[in-house]
Structure 1
Amino acid sequence: MGLLKFELKKIYRQKKLIWLLVVVLLGVSFIFNQNFSKKETMKERYSDMIRPYSEEADGLYRFYKDMELKGNLDEEMVQQQVHVNEFGTIFFNWKGAIYYEEWSKIPAIEQGFLKNVESLEEAGGGFSALYALEREKAIQKNEWLLAHDLPYVDEEFPLAPALILKQSADLLLSAGAILFLVLFFGNAMTAEKEQQTWLTLKTQPIPRRQRILMKYAGMLFVMLVFLLLVACIGLLIPYLFGEQAWRFDYPQLVQSGEVFSFISTSAYLVRIFVLFFTAGALVFSFIMLLSTQLKSSFSVLIMTGFIGVVGFSVTLMNEGLQGFWNPFHLLNISTVVSETAAGSFWILPVSAIVWSLLILTAAFALPEGEKGLFGASDVKKPFDDGKTRRVQAIRNSALFEWRKLKRQGSLKQSIIILGLFAIIGYFLLGQISQKKEAEYIAAVEESLAQYRDMIIPDHERQLDTLDEKKAEAEKSGDEEMVKFYGEVELQRIETMLAHYKEVLAHYEIGKRAYEQKDWQTYNQFQLYRNRYMLGEFHNEYMGISGGLSGFDSYVKLEASKAEKEWLIKHEIQPIISGMMISTIYDSGDKELKKEHVEWNRKVDNNGLFSLYLYLDNFVYFIPMLLLLFVFGAGFAVEKGKRPTIQTLQTQPVEMRSVFFGKVTTAVLVGISGLVGIFAFVLLVGTLFNRFGDWYYPIFHYNSKKVVEAEGYTGMRAFEGGFDFMPLGEYVLSGVALSVCIFLFLIALVHLLGMFIPRSFVVFSLVGLICGFGYVLSDKLGDYAQFSPFTYLDIGRIVNGEVATVLNNPGVSVLNGCLVLVGAAVLLVGVGYGVLRLRSRVGVRKGKERLAATI
C-alpha cells in the first residue's frame, strides 16, 4: 500500500487531474450549451420529423377522395378510406400537442397513429413513410414510453440530466478518450526511465512485479477519477441549468442488423462505464508491457498509437474479427454498447479483463529492456564526426536544433511510422472500396431480380386476371366496375407494366456495363437512376416524390444528377458506391441519415482519392500532431526537471537566435515531412493502383450571397446553390491549407513554450485554444474569415460548407492561407518582441548591478 500511495501522490502533484476536470467540464458544457441553444426550435424539429407521415396521409386522403368522386371505390377501398380519414383527427391532435408543448400527451397520440397504420394495412392498404423495421421500432419504443409513463423528449438535443449524461458518455467515454488518457498518463513508467528515477526505485527492496503493478494501479485510479468526473458533472450541469427530472428509464435502442431491443438509460450508462473502464485497463496493460521493453516515452506512445489504429481499423473493416475475443473490437465502445444484445454484452468486459491479465503476466515475465524504437541504441556518435564551424547565430541555432532532432531519433521513427500508416492505409482503403462496391452491385442485382422475378410477373398476373374480374362485373350487372376493369384498370396495369420493363432494361444494361467495365454506359445507367428519383420518368399512376426518403433534399437530387453528367462529359471512371451525394440540407431521422451518408460515401485507394479522403476526414492531423510532438514545445522542452536552457543561457548566443533557430528548424523540417508524407501517400496509391482522375467531380457548396450575386454561373436547387471542383484542385488546395495550419500551430506552440515550463501543459493549452477558437469562430458571422481557427477543418473549408453555413464568401482557401500565415508571423513576432524586451531588461539590470558594485 505504501508504494501505491507513493504513485497516487505523484499523480496528484503532477496536477494532471485538474486537466481531466477541465476537459470533462468543457465537454459536458459544450453538449449542454448546444442542446440548450436548440430548445426554442424543438417544436419545429418535431414537426419536421412527423411531416413525412402527415404528407403521405394527405396524399392518401386525396387519392381515395378522387377515387370516390369517380365512383371507383370497391368495398375494400371503402374500408381503407375510413382509416385514412382517421389520420386527419390524429394529426390535428398531434400538431396541437406540439404547438402547445403538451409532450406528455404525445405518446398516446402516437400510439393511436401506429394502431391506425396497422388497421390500414390489415384492410389491404399501405403506408410507405413508416414500414417494416422502422415501424416495429416505433411501436416498441412507444409501448415503453406508455408503460413507464414518460413524456416525449427531444433525444437529439435533450436537457434531462440522464440524457445529457448519456450524450456526454458517448462523447467522453470513447476510444478517443482512452487515447487522451494515454497521452496524459501513458508515460508514467518511461518518464522515470528517461529521468533516471527508475534506477532509484530499483535500488529499493521492492519486487519488480510490485513496481509495475503499482504503476498500473495508478493508471486505473486515474480512469476511475475520470469516470467519476463524467458522472458527476454530466448530471450536475443539466440539473442546475436544465430540467430537474431524474428519470433514468428513457429507452435506448440496441440494434444489430435486423435484431433490436430497448434498454433503459441507466442500463446503457452502466454498459458504457464498465466497458470504458475495462477497455482502458486493457490499453494500459499493453502500455506497461511496452514500457518494460522500451526506454523512451515517445517510442511507447507511438507504438501504442500505431498498433491501436491499425488493429482498430482492420477490425472495423472485417466483420469476422468483430468478436469478444478480439481486443481491438472492445475499443469501439459506443458501437459495442449500442449494438450488443443484453444476453451477450457482459462477456465483452470479461474478455477485456482476461486480456489485461494475460498482458500483465507477459510484462512480469519478460526481462526488462532498455532499447529505443526499432532497437535503436542510446549511445550516439558525435554529429558530423565532431566537426564544428562558425556560422551566423540564427543559422547556427537552426543547425543545433537539427542535430538534436537527428540524434534523438524521434523524427526518423515518426517518418517510418507514418510511412507504414500510408501503406497500411492504402490496403485498408482498398478493403473498404471493394466491400462498398460489392454491396452496391449486390443491391443492383437485388433490384434487378425484384423487377424481373416479382414486380413484372405480378403485373402480368394482374393483367391476366383482369378479364375474369370484368366478366364477374358484367355478370353482376355493375356497369361502373365493367368500365373500371375494362378501361381504367387495364390502362393502369399496362402503363405500369411497360414502365417496369423499361426500368428492368436499364438495370440489365447497367449490370452488363459494370461487368464489361464500360464506364460511360455505366455512368448513363447511374444518370438514369438519378433522373428517375427526380420524377422525370414517372407517370400519372405513380406518386411523384422528391426522392427515396423523407430527408432527401432537392440539392442532393440535383447534385447527384449533375455529378453523373460531369462524369459522362469528362469520360471519368466512376467510384462504385451509392449514387447520391449527401448534403447539409438533408434532414430527418439521425440514424437513418447516418446510414444513408455511409451508403453513399465514395471510397477508393488510387493516389489522388486517397489524399482526398485523408484531407476530408481529419487524417491530416495525425502527421501534424506527431511532427509537433517531435519538435517539442519550444523552450518548454528545455525546462522542467533537467533544465537544459540554463546551459544555453551560458553560451554567447542571444535567446532570440535560439528561438528563431527552433522555429526555423520546425518549419523547414516539419513542412518537408508533412508534404513528404502526402507525396508518399500519392506515390503508394499510384504504384499499387493508379494516379486517379484529376477531373473527378467533388461537390462544392455556394453560399447564399454568392448564389444571389449578379453573374452567378453555378447550379441552383430549392435549398441553395452548388457546383463541382476537380479532385486535383481539391487536393492542391487541401495540401496548401494543411501546410498553413501546420505553420500556425508551430508558431503557437513555440510562443506558449516561452512562458510555460512544461511541454504537457503547452500541448494541452494548444488543444484547448484551438477547440475554443474553432467553436467561437462559428459565432463570428461576417468576421469569421479573420479567425485562423475557422480554417482547421480542411474538408469543410475547401468544399465551401463553412462559407455556406455562415453565409460568408470570405471564408475561402486563399483567405485561409493568408490568415494562417499572417497569424503565424504575428505569433513569432510577438515571441521575438518578448525576448528582445527581456534582453534589454536583463542588460539594464546588469548595468545597475555593476554600477552598484562600483
Structure 2
Amino acid sequence: MALLKFELKKIFRQKKLMWLLVVVLLGVGFIFNQNFSKKETMKERYSEVIRPYSEEADGLYRFYKDVELKGNLNEAMIKQQVHVNEFGTIFFHWKGAIYNKEWNKIPAVEQDFLKTVASLEEAEGGFSALYGLDREKAIQKNEWLLKHDLPYVDDEFPLAPALVLKQSVDFLLSAGAILFLVLLFGNALTAEKEQQTWLTLKTQPITRRQRILMKYAGMLFVMLVFLLLVACIGLLIPYLFGEQAWRFEYPQLVQSEEVFSFISTSAYLARSFVLFFAAGTLVFSFIMLLSSQMKSSFSVLVMTGFVGAVGYSLTLMIEGLQGFWNPFHLLNISKIVSETVAGSFWLFPVSTIVWSLLILAAAFALPEGEKGLFGVSDVKKPFDDGRTRHVRAVRNSILFEWRKLKRQGSLRQSVIILGLFAVIGCFLLGQISQKKEEEAIAGIDGSITFFKDTVMPEYESQLKALEEEKAEAEMSGDESIDNEYIDVNLAFYEALLAFSKEELANEEMGKRAYEQEDWQAFYQYQLYLNKRNSGEIASEYHNWILGESSYVMLEASKAEKEWLMKHDIQPIISGVEIPTIYESWGDKERKKRHAERNRKVDNNGLFSLYLYFDNFVYFIPMLLLLFVFGAGFAGEKGKRPTIQTLQTLPVAMRSVFLGKVTTTVLVGISGLVGIFAFVLLVGTLFNRFGDWYYPIFYYNSPKVVEAEGYTGMRALEGGFDFMPLGEYMLSGVALSVCIFLFLIALVHLLGIFIPRAFVVYSFVGLICGFGYFLSDKLGDYAQFSPFTYLDIGRIVNGEVATVLNNPGVSVLNGCLVLLGVAVLLVGVAYVVLRLRSGVGAERKKEVLATN
C-alpha cells in the first residue's frame, strides 16, 4: 500500500489529472453547446423526420381518389381507402403537436399512425415509407415511450441530462480516449528508466513484480477518475443549463443485423463504463509488458499505437475476428455496446480481464530489458567517428539538431513504422475494396434471382388467372362479372410485368458487363439505376417518392456516370449514389447504412491517398513527426534540462531556435511528402497507379452558383461539379504541408514560454480545437483563420465553403493563410528571443558594474 500511495502522489503532483478535467469539460461542453444551439430548430427537424410519411400518405390519398373518380374502386381498395383517409386526421394532430411543442402528446399520435399502417397492410395495402425492420423498431420504441410515460425527445440533439451523458459517453469513452490516456500516462514506467529513477527503486526492498503492479494500479486509478469526471460533468452541465428531468428510462437501440432490442439509458451507460474500463485495463497491461522490455517512452508508445492500429483494422475488416475472444475487437467499444443484443455482453469484459492477467503474467515472467524499438541498443557510437566541424551559428545549430535526431533514432523508427503502416493499410484497403465489390455483385445476382423466381412468376400467375376469369365470363355471359374491373387489373399487371422485364434486362446487362469488363456497358447499367431512383424511369403504377434523397445526390449520381463514360475510367465498384450534405435523413442508422453502401474504397495509388485525406489519416504521420521533433525549447527543459548546457555555449539562443525550426521544416516536410510518395508507390505496386481523371464530387457554394457566368451543374438544393482525382491529391498534399508548417511554428513558439513538452502539445491541441470550432462561427471572415483549413477533405471538395457560403475558403487561400501565419509565429518567437537576449546582456553589464 505504501508503494501505491507513492505512485498516486506522483500522479497528483504531475498535475496531469487537470488535463483530464479540461478534456472532459471541453468534450461535454462542446456536445451540450451544439445541442443547445439546435434547440429552436427542433420543430423543423422533427417535421423532416415525418415528411416522408406525410408525402406518401398524400400520394396514396390522391391515387385512391383518382381511382374513385374513374369508378374503378373494388371492395379491397375501398377498405384501403378508409385507412388512407385516417392518415389525414392523424397528420393534422401530429403536425399540430409539433407546432405547439406538445412533445408529450406525440407518442400517442405516433401509436395511432402505426396502428393505421398495420390496418392498411391487413387490408392488403402497403406503406413503403415505413416497413419491415424500420417499422418494427418504431413500434417497439413507441411502446417503450408509452409504457414509461416519456415524451418525445430529439435523439440527435437532446438536452436531458441522461441523454447528454449518453452522447458524451459515446464521444469520450472510445478508443480515442484510451489513446489519449496512453499518451498522458503510458510512459509511467519508461519515464523512470529514462530519468534513471528506476535504478533508485531497484535499491529498495521491493520486488520487480510489485513495482510493475503498482504502476499498473496507478493507471487503473487514473481511468476511474476519468470515468467519474465524465459521469459527473456529463450530468451536471445539462442539469444546470438544460433540462432538469432525471429520466434514465429513455430507450436506446441495440441492434445486430436483423436482431434488435431496446434497453434503458442507464443500462447503456453501465455497459459503456464497464467496457471502457475493461478495455483500458487490457491496453495498459500491454504497455506494462512493453515497458518491462524497452527503455524509451517513444518506442513503447509507437509500438503500442502500431500494434493497436493494425490489429484494430484487421478486426474491422474480417468479420470472423469480431468475437469476444479477440483483444483488438474489445477496443471497438461503441460497436460492442450498441450491437450486443443477447446476454453475451458480459463475455467481453470477462475476456478482457483474462487477457490482461495473461499479459501481466508475461510482464512478470520475462526478464527486464533495456532495448529500444526493433531491439536496437540505446548505446550510441560517437557521431561521425568523433569528427567535428566549425561553421556559422545557424548552420551549426542545424547540423547539431540533425545529429541529435539521428542519434536519438526516433526519426528512423517513425519512418519504419509509417512505412509498415502504409503497406498494411494498402493491404487492408485492398481487402475492403474486394469485399465491397463482392457485395455489389452479389446484390446484382440477388436482384436477378428475385425478379426471375419471385416477381415475374407472380405477375404472370396473376395475369393468367385474370385472363382465365375474363374468358370464363365471356363464355358464360354472366353480367354480374365486372369486365371493366378485370381489364383495369390486366393493364395493371401487364405494366408491372413490363417494368419488371426492363429491370431484369438491365440487371443481366450489368452482370454481363462486369464479367466481360465492358465498363461502358456497366456504367449504362448504373446510369439506368440512377435514372430509376430519380423518377425518370417509372411505370404508370410505380410511384416515385423523393424520401430522404436530395436532388443534388440524384443529379450528381447521373453526372458521375456520364463523366466516367466520357473519360473511359475503370470503375471502383460500390453503390451507385453519391451521399451529400443535402440528404434529410431522419434515422441515423439508415444514413449510416446508405453512406457505407455507397462508400468507394480502392487501394490503387491515387485513390489510397484520396482516402488518407478524406478520412483524417494524414494526421497520423503529421502528429508522429511533430512528436519526434519535440516541442522546441520545451523539449530541452523538464527534469533533464539540456537547455542549460546550450545556454553556456557562445551561440545566441535565436540562432539555436532558427536551427531547430529549419531542421524541423526540412526533415519534417521531407518525411511527410516521402510518406505520401511511399503510399502512392505501394498502391501502385499492389494494384495500379490509378486514374488521374477519376471524378471527385465538388460542392459549389451558393454565392458561386448565384454569380453571373456560373458554369457548373445545378440542382434544387445547390450547385456542384467534379474535379479530377489527381488534382484533388495535389491539393491535399499542398494543404497538408502548409498545415504541418503552421503546427511546427505554433509548437516552437509555445516552447519558448512553456517548460514541458507535454503541456505544449496539449495547448496546441486545445488551440486547434477551439480555433476549428470558432472558425465555423466567423462566416465571411472564416477564410482568414488558419484553423478553418485543418479538415483537408472538406476544404478540397468545397464542403466547408458551401456550408459557410464563403467562396474565399479555398485551397489556395488556405495555403497562403497557413504559410503567412507560420512565418508570423516564427517571427514573433525570434523577436521574443532577441529581446530576452538584450535584457540578459543588460543584466550582465549591471552585475559587472556593481562588482
**Is the shorter-chain TM-score for this pair beyond 0.5, marking a shared fold?**
yes
Task: Measure, in 2, the Cα distance between the counterparts of 1:604 and 1:231.
Answer: 41
| Unmatched segments (≥5 aa) in structure 1 | none
Task: Indicate yes or no: 2:581 matched with 1:584.
Answer: yes
Task: Indicate yes or no: 2:798 matched with 1:803.
Answer: no
The residue aligned with 2:707 is: 709
Which amino acid counterpart does residue 828 of structure 1 have in structure 2?
V
Cα deviations across residues 667-708 of structure 1 (Å, max 9, x unaligned)?
Answer: 000000000000000000101210000000000000000001
User: Alignment partner for residue 559 of structure 1, among 527, 539, 556?
Assistant: 556
The residue aligned with 2:291 is: 291
Which amino acid counterpart does residue 283 of structure 1 have in structure 2?
V
What pairs with 1:682-701 in structure 2 (closer than 5 Å)?
Answer: 682-701=680-699
Task: Measure, in 2, the Cα distance between the counterparts of 1:472 and 1:348.
Answer: 67
Which amino acid counterpart does residue 355 of structure 2 have in structure 1?
W
Task: Measure, in 2, the Cα distance between the counterparts of 1:483 and 1:453.
Answer: 30
The residue aligned with 2:638 is: 640
Aligned partners of 1:43 and 1:98 also within 8 Å: yes
Q: Secondary structure at the match of 2:569?
A: coil
What pairs with 1:272-283 in structure 2 (closer than 5 Å)?
Answer: 272-283=272-283
Q: Secondary structure at the match of 2:253?
A: strand
RMSD: 1.1
Task: Measure, in 2, the Cα distance between the counterparts of 1:199 and 1:587.
Answer: 62
Task: Measure, in 1, the Cα distance between the counterparts of 2:477 and 2:227.
Answer: 77
Aligned partners of 2:186 and 2:284 also within 8 Å: yes
Which amino acid counterpart does residue 481 of structure 1 have in structure 2?
D
Which amino acid counterpart does residue 697 of structure 2 have in structure 1?
F
Q: Relative to 1, partners in 2 of residues 1:342 and 1:235: Cα closer, same or farther, differing over 3 Å?
A: farther
Task: Measure, in 2, the Cα distance between the counterparts of 1:289 and 1:319.
Answer: 28
The residue aligned with 1:152 is: 152
Aligned partners of 2:56 and 2:545 also within 8 Å: no
CA shift at 1:481, angstroms? 2.8
The residue aligned with 2:662 is: 664
Aligned partners of 2:190 and 2:294 also within 8 Å: yes
Task: Measure, in 1, the Cα distance between the counterparts of 2:605 and 2:552.
Answer: 29
| Unmatched segments (≥5 aa) in structure 2 | none
Q: Secondary structure at the match of 1:632?
A: coil
Task: Indicate yes or no: 2:566 matched with 1:569.
Answer: yes
Aligned partners of 2:104 and 2:150 also within 8 Å: yes
Which amino acid counterpart does residue 753 of structure 1 have in structure 2?
G
CA shift at 1:470, angstroms? 3.0
The residue aligned with 1:354 is: 354
What pairs with 1:756-775 in structure 2 (closer than 5 Å)?
Answer: 756-775=754-773
Task: Measure, in 1, the Cα distance between the counterparts of 2:327 and 2:754.
Answer: 38
CA shift at 1:383, angstroms? 1.2
Task: Measure, in 1, the Cα distance between the counterparts of 2:77 and 2:223.
Answer: 63
Cα deviations across residues 530-581 of structure 1 (Å, max 9, x unaligned)?
Answer: 11112222132221333xxx21111001000000000000000010001100
Q: Relative to 1, partners in 2 of residues 1:485 and 1:396: Cα closer, same or farther, differing over 3 Å?
A: same
Aligned partners of 2:495 and 2:540 also within 8 Å: no
CA shift at 1:499, angstroms? 2.1
The residue aligned with 1:110 is: 110
CA shift at 1:480, angstroms? 8.7
Task: Measure, in 1, the Cα distance between the counterparts of 2:244 and 2:479.
Answer: 66
Q: Secondary structure at the match of 1:346?
A: helix
Aligned partners of 1:470 and 1:481 also within 8 Å: no
CA shift at 1:444, angstroms? 1.1
Task: Measure, in 1, the Cα distance between the counterparts of 2:104 and 2:619.
Answer: 46
Task: Indicate yes or no: 2:499 matched with 1:502.
Answer: no
Cα deviations across residues 428-450 of structure 1 (Å, max 9, x unaligned)?
Answer: 00110011111111111111111
Task: Measure, in 2, the Cα distance between the counterparts of 1:297 and 1:256.
Answer: 40
Q: Relative to 1, partners in 2 of residues 1:197 and 1:533: Cα closer, same or farther, differing over 3 Å?
A: same
CA shift at 1:467, angstroms? 2.1
Which amino acid counterpart does residue 635 of structure 1 have in structure 2?
F
The residue aligned with 2:378 is: 378
Task: Measure, in 1, the Cα distance between the counterparts of 2:693 and 2:262.
Answer: 47
Aligned partners of 1:72 and 1:481 also within 8 Å: no
Which amino acid counterpart does residue 791 of structure 1 have in structure 2?
Y
Aligned partners of 2:28 and 2:234 also within 8 Å: yes
The residue aligned with 1:314 is: 314
Task: Measure, in 1, the Cα distance between the counterparts of 2:527 and 2:147.
Answer: 49
Aligned partners of 1:633 and 1:763 also within 8 Å: yes
Which amino acid counterpart does residue 486 of structure 2 have in structure 1?
Y
Which amino acid counterpart does residue 448 of structure 2 have in structure 1?
L
Aligned partners of 1:72 and 1:480 also within 8 Å: no
Task: Measure, in 2, the Cα distance between the counterparts of 1:732 and 1:754.
Answer: 34
Cα deviations across residues 59-94 of structure 1 (Å, max 9, x unaligned)?
Answer: 111111111111111111111111111111111111
The residue aligned with 1:432 is: 432
Cα deviations across residues 287-322 of structure 1 (Å, max 9, x unaligned)?
Answer: 000000000000000000000000000000011000
What pairs with 1:403-414 in structure 2 (closer than 5 Å)?
Answer: 403-414=403-414
Q: Relative to 1, partners in 2 of residues 1:310 and 1:88: Cα closer, same or farther, differing over 3 Å?
A: same
The residue aligned with 1:197 is: 197
The residue aligned with 1:100 is: 100
Which amino acid counterpart does residue 581 of structure 2 have in structure 1?
I
Which amino acid counterpart does residue 559 of structure 1 have in structure 2?
A
Task: Measure, in 2, the Cα distance between the counterparts of 1:614 and 1:502.
Answer: 40
Identity %: 81
Aligned partners of 1:530 and 1:561 also within 8 Å: yes
Task: Indicate yes or no: 2:790 matched with 1:792.
Answer: yes
The residue aligned with 2:817 is: 819
Aligned partners of 2:84 and 2:120 also within 8 Å: yes
CA shift at 1:527, angstroms? 1.1
Q: Secondary structure at the match of 2:129?
A: coil
Aligned partners of 2:701 and 2:802 also within 8 Å: yes
Which amino acid counterpart does residue 556 of structure 2 have in structure 1?
A
Aligned partners of 2:735 and 2:815 also within 8 Å: yes
CA shift at 1:468, angstroms? 3.2
The residue aligned with 1:224 is: 224
What pairs with 1:112-511 in structure 2 (closer than 5 Å)?
Answer: 112-470=112-470, 481-486=482-487, 488-511=488-511
Q: Secondary structure at the match of 2:482?
A: helix
Q: Secondary structure at the match of 2:736?
A: helix
Deviates more, 1:453-462 or 1:773-782: 453-462
Task: Indicate yes or no: 2:676 matched with 1:678.
Answer: yes
The alignment's TM-score, normalised by the length of structure 1, stands at 0.98
What pairs with 1:823-838 in structure 2 (closer than 5 Å)?
Answer: 823-838=821-836
CA shift at 1:471, angstroms? 5.0
Which amino acid counterpart does residue 741 of structure 1 have in structure 2?
I
The alignment's TM-score, normalised by the length of structure 2, stands at 0.99
Deviates more, 1:196-205 or 1:510-519: 510-519
Task: Measure, in 1, the Cα distance between the counterparts of 2:52 and 2:379.
Answer: 71
Q: Secondary structure at the match of 2:104?
A: helix
Deviates more, 1:831-840 or 1:468-477: 468-477
Cα deviations across residues 10-54 of structure 1 (Å, max 9, x unaligned)?
Answer: 000000000000000000000000000000000110011001111
Give the paired residue count.
849
CA shift at 1:354, angstroms? 0.6
Task: Measure, in 2, the Cα distance between the counterparts of 1:804 and 1:613.
Answer: 21
User: Alignment partner for residue 846 of structure 2, among 845, 848, 851?
Assistant: 848
Q: Secondary structure at the match of 1:723?
A: strand
Q: Secondary structure at the match of 1:103?
A: coil
CA shift at 1:496, angstroms? 2.5
Task: Measure, in 2, the Cα distance between the counterparts of 1:58 and 1:476.
Answer: 40
Aligned partners of 1:526 and 1:564 also within 8 Å: yes
